[in-house]
Structure 1
Amino acid sequence: MIGKAFAPSHITGFFYAHDDPDPLKMGSCGCGFTLEAGVHTASWPSNATEVYVDGMPSEASTTRTVIELLTDKPVHVESDMDMPVGGGFGASGAGAFSTALAVNRALGLGKTYNELSYAAHVAEVKNRTGLGDVAGMTLGGLVIRLVPGAPFTLDRIPVEAKDIYCVHFGPISTKSVLSDPREKALINEAGKKCLKELLRQPTFEQFMRLSRKFSVDTGLISPKALDTVEAVEAFDGMASMAMLGDTVFSTIPEGLSGNVIKSRISLCGARPIGANNE
């Protein structure tokens, strides 16, 4: 049987990290949104486990880890990505989550949605490719992560499926940023303040303002990204930098230059998208 699934991309505006010896409890709090651009994955039984990303063989360590967590049977996995890897779109988490859903269907594992999402989260944490993206992908929309790790404790700010415009300048290693103790302390202090302010005024506009403030206060925003944010603001738009990636996300296309990625906020989380017996 072929299992197929989709996971939306997830952009975090601000966050703070929580360490724990149990990878299930390790994670982050903060706020971000899912996009209709995401990862489509197909999986089927095979003689050896193989992972392909955009048609090419891939190490895809986070995806391979989630497979190992779910089964000892070999599977073939093919993922097609609508977004760049390392750009703050949660590509690794979306790849792992969509793989978990697809493998569950392909092998008839009989796992629940929570079991599959937790496996994807643990795979992300173990590979240090993300801390909270999978949690956001379970719900969809503009998601507030209230408690780090699993079980996921989430809320959502009501928002329509509005267009979001992104420009990606290059990758940032989540692992390298989160491995610096001083950087991490600065991020956590700023992230906690932003979350408190958002909960006092939970609106999309407040989320955008706090995301911009967080990116500047932590020093994570690159000079090129900041120039782009200011260019968007000159046209009365709102923009900030995706965490963690050198990507600007904006409410309007004006002020952006280069390859502009346009997508809509997805109000649905990761899900199976069909299967057959080919």
Structure 2
Amino acid sequence: MRAFAPGSVTAVFAPAETADQSKGASVAIADGVVADVTPHDDPRADPLVTVDGERTDFDPVERALRKLDVPARADLIAKIPIGRGFGASGAATLAAVVAANAEFGLDRSREQLVELAHRAEVEAGTGLGDVFVQNRGGLVVGDGGDPRKYERETPIEYASFGPIATEEALADEDLMARVAREGSATIDALPDDLSLARLTRDSWQFARAIGLPTEAVRETVAEVESAGGVASMAMVGETVFAVGVEGVLDRRTEVCSEGAQLR
């Protein structure tokens, strides 16, 4: 059974009141991850995961499949870079549990599957809320409990230069203190009728305030601004996303208005 989950770009985030979640503003994108889940050849073995045909250790996906207690193999096809701020681990985990639920006839509710995928991400240290955005689609502001969703069709361009380890970023106390202060202020100031351009502009102020942008990111944002668009840095990766331009960055996608689904 195959399922797709969109990637997600987090523009700004801050710790939520619940310790294992974050609040923020993120957008689901049409580039994502497809999980093809089938029964494992050895029903007694741990879950087997491949990415683009290569066997790999993929901690949150393996954790989630073990929680479902099914002898599963998950073959992942990633249309987004892994570890570069596109929520790839969350997309892979959510797609895998949605596919496994159908493949093995588990009859779990959508809410149960999303919570299970979220828990697997938290335990693996790879994310604090991507799956909530990837479950809903669109532009989402808030936290896992009570988010606001906006329907936006804005095209998005992006370029990625390298990974930033999410586990290390979340464990950096000084960085997370800046994130808590600057992220909360930025989120609280977002208007009710939020555009993706406004979010991107505020996101860039946030990124600079917490001190994450590299030289490559700064130069690319300046290039987008010179072309008349707005750009910022994806949280957390050495990745630039932009709106209001065409053909400036390497890749072009669009907002995905729907969440994870069977294929």
Q: CA deviation at 1:201?
A: 5.2
Query: Is the CA contact 1:13–1:241 (under 8 Å) kept in the aligned structure 2?
Result: yes
Q: State the match for 1:108 in structure 2.
A: 105
SS of 1:153's equivalent? coil
* CA–CA distance in structure 2, aligned partners of residues 18 and 143 of structure 1: 15
Q: CA deviation at 1:18?
A: 3.8
Matched, 1:184 2:167: no
Matched, 1:97 2:94: yes
Counterpart of 1:28, as a letter, is: S
Q: State the match for 2:148 in structure 1.
A: 155
Q: State the match for 1:276 in structure 2.
A: none
Structure 1: runs of 5 or more not aligned: 274-278
Q: CA deviation at 1:102?
A: 0.7
Deviations 1:245-277 (A, max 9, x none): 000001124543xxx12111100011112xxxx
Task: Let me know the Cα RMSD of the aligned residues.
Answer: 1.4
Counterpart of 2:254, as a letter, is: R
Select which of 256, 259, 263 maps to 1:269.
Answer: 259
The within-5 A match list for 1:40-79 is 40-46=34-40, 47=42, 48=45, 49-71=47-69, 73-79=70-76
Query: Is the CA contact 2:3–2:261 (under 8 Å) kept in the aligned structure 1?
Result: yes
Q: State the match for 1:38 in structure 2.
A: 32
Q: CA deviation at 1:177?
A: 1.0
The within-5 A match list for 1:221-236 is 221-236=213-228
Select which of 186, 195, 198 maps to 1:194.
Answer: 186
Q: CA deviation at 1:203?
A: 2.4
The within-5 A match list for 1:231-242 is 231-242=223-234
**Under a length normalisation based on structure 2, what TM-score does the superposition of the two structures give?**
0.94
Q: State the match for 1:245 in structure 2.
A: 237
* CA–CA distance in structure 2, aligned partners of residues 68 and 82 of structure 1: 25
Structure 2: runs of 5 or more not aligned: none
Q: CA deviation at 1:69?
A: 1.4
**Under a length normalisation based on structure 1, what TM-score does the superposition of the two structures give?**
0.89
